[in-house]
């Protein structure tokens, strides 16, 4: 594995390039762009999947989203769908400049929010020949649903608009957190949703904690996501082979289980499949070896057939 950068507009996007054992630059290899979950970074679950797929002969590029991790960009901790999707196109631009990458055998894989972004990017980025997702979650839907109250989206947008006004008048950019910052804080809030509970366990302990994933989000940046849907036009534009992976253990508020089946039903792909890892929760498929190994085995068969 080596650290590399590629450009998105004027800034550098930081990435780790995972290569097969015995890698030889005089040969050509298929490649896979690997996208991390929302609030994550390239050293967490994306690294697990990238390194495992590299073992099977793929050059895998796991990158930090613009403005996040070690990547640059117009601000910090932004979650802007347009910029996130453009990162994928720029990753493809980078891969096609590498003499050891077969430009006709490039795939994409995303986990959680990165999976939904990967799907959206593949609709217009035809250099991606095969699309894989692991517990893909549609960020636009999550924003609109909020706390599941009837007017959740409107209340959130009113708050975002008020914050934009404050910042236009000189206030500091508002940062919030995605999840409670400790198990003690989680308990004090009385949250019982399994996805949030497991997110706290993953991101705030040695299990998954990394410097590039500080649990920070620019509040104003989320406004664009409320009118964005990762799967919009999938029934017309998503035609590449598609492998969806979800878990059916205690489906939580992030909604990746139902998003997986929605995507399966909507995609125009003639070759598409969903694989359910029995008993696996959303976060089990981030790093639990038995669950990840099942997902990787399915992905290996999929990419082997389609790249």
Share of the chain above pLDDT 90, in %: 98
Calpha distance 143→147 (Å, rounded):
9
Calpha distance 102→120 (Å, rounded):
23
Calpha distance 253→238 (Å, rounded):
26
Judge whether residue 116 has pLDDT over 80: yes
Is the dihedral angle over the CA atoms 276, 278, 284, 290 positive or is it negative?
negative
Domain 2-143+227-306 has CATH 3.40.50.300: no
Q: What is the DSSP string of the chain?
A: -EEEEEEETTEEEEEEEE--TT--TTS-EEEEEEEPPTT--TTTHHHHHHHHHHTTT-EEEEEPPTTSTT---SSSS---HHHHHHHHHHHHHHHTT-TTEEEEEEEEEEETHHHHHHHHHHHH-TTEEEEEEES---HHHHHHHTTS-TTHHHHHHHHHHHHHHHHHTTPPPPEE-SS-SSHHHHHHHT---HHHHHHHHHHSSTTT--TT----EETGGGGGGGG--TTTTHHHH--S-EEEEEE-SS--TT-HHHHHHHHHHH---SSEEEEEETT--TTHHHH-HHHHHHHHHHHHHHHHHH-
Q: Token digits for 132?
A: 């894989």
What's the longest Cα–Cα distance across the chain?
Answer: 58
Q: What is the DSSP string of 14-29?
A: EEEEE--TT--TTS-E
Q: Is 206 exposed, middle or buried (0-12, 13-18, 19+ CB in 10 A)?
A: exposed
pLDDT average, residue stretch 165-189: 96
Q: What is the mean pLDDT of the chain?
A: 97
* pLDDT attached to residue 147: 85
pLDDT average, residue stretch 139-145: 96
**pTM tops 0.85, yes or no:** yes
Question: Domain-by-domain residue ranges, the chain?
Answer: 2-143+227-306
* pLDDT attached to residue 62: 98
Closest-CA residue to 34 (of 106, 100, 105): 106
* pLDDT attached to residue 252: 84
Judge whether residue 206 has pLDDT over 80: yes
Q: Token digits for 62?
A: 């796991």
Q: Token digits for 108?
A: 């994409």
Q: Dihedrals φ, ψ of 17, to 5°?
A: -100, 115
Q: What is the pLDDT of residues 37-96, one digit of tens each?
A: 999 999 999 999 999 999 999 999 999 999 999 999 999 999 999 999 999 999 999 999
């Amino acid at each position: 594995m080596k650290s590399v950068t590629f450009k998105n507009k004027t800034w550098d996007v930081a990435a780790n390039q995972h290569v097969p054992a015995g890698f030889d630059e005089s040969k050509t290899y298929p490649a896979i762009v690997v996208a991390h979950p929302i609030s994550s970074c390239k050293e967490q679950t994306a690294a697990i999947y990238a390194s495992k797929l590299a073992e099977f002969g793929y050059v895998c590029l796991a990158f930090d989203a613009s403005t996040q991790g070690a990547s640059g960009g117009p601000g910090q901790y932004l979650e802007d769908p347009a910029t996130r999707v453009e990162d994928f196109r720029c990753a493809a631009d980078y891969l096609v400049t590498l003499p050891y990458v077969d430009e006709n055998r490039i795939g994409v894989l995303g986990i959680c929010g990165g999976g939904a972004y990967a799907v959206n990017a593949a609709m217009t980025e035809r250099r991606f020949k095969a699309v894989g997702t692991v517990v893909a979650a549609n960020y636009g839907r999550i924003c609109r649903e909020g706390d599941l109250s009837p007017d959740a989206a409107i209340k959130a947008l009113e708050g975002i608009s008020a914050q934009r006004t404050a910042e236009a008048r000189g206030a500091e950019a508002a940062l919030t957190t995605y999840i409670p910052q400790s198990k003690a804080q989680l308990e004090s809030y009385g949250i019982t949703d399994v996805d949030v509970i497991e997110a706290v366990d993953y991101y705030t302990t040695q299990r998954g904690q990394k410097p590039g994933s500080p649990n920070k989000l620019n509040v104003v940046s989320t406004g664009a996501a409320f009118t964005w849907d990762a799967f919009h036009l999938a029934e017309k534009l998503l035609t590449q082979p598609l492998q969806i992976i979800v878990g059916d253990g205690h489906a939580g508020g992030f909604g990746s289980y139902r998003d997986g089946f929605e995507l399966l039903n909507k995609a125009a792909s003639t070759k598409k499949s969903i694989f359910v890892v029995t008993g696996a929760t959303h976060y089990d498929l981030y790093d639990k070896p038995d669950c990840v190994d099942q997902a990787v085995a399915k992905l290996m068969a999929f990419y082997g057939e389609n790249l």
